[in-house]
């Protein structure tokens, strides 16, 4: 059943999908204080493994040191070089690529080549900058905030799909990334509604379920959609044979979508965990990372290993297909936002879009510094109401 009993207003006006001022507010009040998915634990499996990435223009270096994961600003305290240019690798000691300064896990210097020439400065001038890091299930999160809000408070309902199986039961089948010419909220809103499925995914997905069959949950920091699926008969027969081999407690008939505000999605169906995160790049561009995990059997055999690999690859192909169909719409959605004189409207079936827009609006209504709120209706004369 839907939570609302009437259609809803489109809370965000079209200009909030391209206005630089709105974008700046979202970066300040939504993204920079938050927790963000930056890697999978399989990327940092061994002692000395590292990966680098950029989170909102901040270069990060994530490192496994004796089984503990650490997140550093990827900038050296000596003369500001990136510690490493490599996207990933293994290094026994955290060492800067330029003059070879070595660092400890707390960011202090461990060794400075020709240290005498820096006398008298024992230990180097400063420590590397460290960021808060949390691991949950197979996922690694970082916050750029000095005092981030408690991770469990942020993670809330998303713990359910992450904790359903021990992390060792998930095998990464595929990971990839997209760049979209669209404001970040456009793919977010598309992901949390099934109303578009009949026209956009006529062959790759079944039609949406009836109102009676759908369960929506709206939490302060997240939404959940639980819905039955109607897979083709051959696919259901195949899954009935495969899933018992993987000790899966679930079936292909039940789909769950967890949206952690603002930009994280966990999707659970049969023996797959799909993880997506959408990151703004500019007011009108964003990128999306996708990870598809396949379930391993509790006690693996050669057959179950093969099925984990095969099922994971099959699911990754289906996910790519579905996401590519969605991606074709994003430039048109963006173009429409930039030309629309309308207020827009939201159906009860799309009520999770309303909940997300309400979250964005609440976050951006924090006290503003040096400007008016970005949702000023006076800036949009002549819009027609359809609600």
Binding site for Fe ion (CB under 5 A): 326
Contacts by 192-198 with C-beta closer than 8 Å and gap 24+?
192/223, 192/225, 192/257, 192/259, 192/265, 192/352, 192/353, 192/356, 193/349, 193/350, 193/352, 193/353, 194/225, 194/227, 194/349, 195/347, 195/349, 195/350, 196/329
111 contact, one of ligand FES, Fe ion, none, CB 5-8 Å limit per kind: none
Which residue, 98 or 342, has its beta carbon nearer to ligand FES? 98
Which residue, 49 or 326, has its beta carbon nearer to Fe ion? 326
Listed ranges 28-36, 97-105, 315-323, 332-340: which one lies at the site for ligand FES (CB under 6 A): 97-105
**Min CB(96)–ligand FES separation in Å:** 3
Name the nearest CA neighbour of 235 among 308, 314, 152, 169: 314
Binding flag, residue 76, ligand FES (CB under 6 A) = yes
101 contact, one of Fe ion, ligand FES, none, CB 5-8 Å limit per kind: ligand FES
**Min CB(52)–ligand FES separation in Å:** 15
99 contact, one of Fe ion, ligand FES, none, CB 5-8 Å limit per kind: ligand FES
Binding flag, residue 81, ligand FES (CB under 6 A) = yes
**Min CB(90)–ligand FES separation in Å:** 19
**Min CB(173)–ligand FES separation in Å:** 38
342 contact, one of ligand FES, Fe ion, none, CB 5-8 Å limit per kind: none
Q: Which of 45, 54, 56, 79 binds ligand FES (CB under 6 A)?
A: 79
Which residue, 242 or 323, has its beta carbon nearer to Fe ion? 323
165 contact, one of ligand FES, Fe ion, none, CB 5-8 Å limit per kind: none
Q: What tokens were used for 206?
A: 């079944």
Dihedral of alpha carbons 106, 107, 111, 117, sign: negative
**Min CB(190)–Fe ion separation in Å:** 6
Q: Which of 17, 29, 50, 101 binds ligand FES (CB under 6 A)?
A: 101
Tell me how far apart the alpha carbons of residues 348 and 62 are, in angstroms, rounded to a whole number. Answer: 42
Q: Which of 45, 87, 93, 99 binds ligand FES (CB under 6 A)?
A: 99
335 contact, one of ligand FES, Fe ion, none, CB 5-8 Å limit per kind: none
**Min CB(140)–ligand FES separation in Å:** 25
Looking only at residues 20 through 39 of this chain, which bind ligand FES when binding is defined by CB under 6 A?
A: none
Tell me how far apart the alpha carbons of residues 326 and 239 are, in angstroms, rounded to a whole number. Answer: 25
Which residue, 74 or 143, has its beta carbon nearer to ligand FES? 74
Cβ contacts of 174 within 8 Å, gap of 6 or more: 290, 291, 292, 312, 313, 316
Binding flag, residue 182, ligand FES (CB under 6 A) = no
**Min CB(97)–ligand FES separation in Å:** 7
- Note if the bond before 262 is cis, omega within 30 degrees: yes
Listed ranges 72-80, 144-152, 224-232, 311-319: which one lies at the site for ligand FES (CB under 6 A): 72-80
The footprint of ligand FES on this chain (CB under 6 A) covers a number of residues equal to 8
130 contact, one of Fe ion, ligand FES, none, CB 5-8 Å limit per kind: none
Burial of 345 (0-12, 13-18, 19+ CB in 10 A): middle
The gap from C-alpha 149 to its chain's centroid, in whole angstroms, comes to 18
Residues that bind ligand FES (CB under 6 A): 76, 78-79, 81, 96, 98-99, 101
């Amino acid at each position: 059943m839907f939570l609302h009993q009437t259609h809803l207003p489109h809370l965000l006006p079209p200009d909030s999908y391209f206005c630089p001022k709105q974008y700046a507010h979202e970066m300040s009040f939504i993204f920079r204080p938050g927790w963000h998915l930056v890697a999978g634990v399989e990327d940092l499996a061994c002692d000395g493994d590292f990966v680098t990435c950029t989170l909102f223009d901040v270069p990060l270096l994530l490192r496994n040191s004796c089984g503990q994961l650490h997140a550093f600003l990827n900038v050296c305290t000596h003369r500001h070089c990136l510690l490493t240019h490599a996207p990933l690798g293994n290094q026994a000691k955290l060492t800067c690529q330029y003059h070879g300064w070595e660092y400890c896990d707390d960011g202090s210097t461990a060794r400075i080549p020709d240290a005498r020439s820096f006398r008298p400065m024992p230990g180097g001038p400063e420590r590397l900058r460290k960021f808060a890091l949390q691991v949950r299930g197979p996922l690694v999160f970082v916050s750029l905030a000095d005092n981030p809000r408690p991770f469990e408070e942020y993670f809330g309902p998303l713990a359910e799909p992450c904790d359903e199986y021990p992390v060792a039961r998930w095998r990464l089948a595929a990971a990839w990334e997209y760049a979209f010419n669209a404001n970040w909220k456009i793919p977010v809103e598309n992901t949390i509604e099934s109303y578009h499925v009949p026209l956009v995914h006529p062959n790759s997905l079944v039609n949406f379920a009836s109102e009676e069959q759908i369960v929506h949950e709206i939490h302060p920091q997240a939404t959940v959609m639980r819905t039955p699926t109607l897979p083709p008969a051959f696919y259901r027969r195949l899954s009935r044979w495969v899933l018992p081999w993987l000790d899966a407690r679930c079936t292909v008939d039940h789909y769950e979508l967890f949206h952690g505000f603002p930009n994280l999605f966990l999707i659970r169906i049969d023996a797959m965990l799909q993880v997506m995160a959408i990151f703004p790049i500019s007011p009108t561009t964003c990128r999306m990372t996708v990870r598809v995990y396949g379930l391993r059997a509790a006690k693996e055999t050669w057959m179950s290993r093969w099925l984990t690999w095969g099922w994971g690859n099959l699911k990754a192909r289906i996910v790519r297909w579905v996401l590519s169909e969605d991606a074709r719409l994003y430039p048109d959605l963006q173009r429409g936002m930039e030309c629309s004189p309308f207020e827009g409207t939201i159906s009860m079936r799309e009520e999770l879009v309303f909940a997300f827009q309400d979250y964005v609006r609440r976050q951006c209504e924090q006290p503003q510094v040096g400007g008016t709120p970005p949702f000023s209706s006076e800036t949009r004369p002549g819009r027609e109401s359809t609600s």
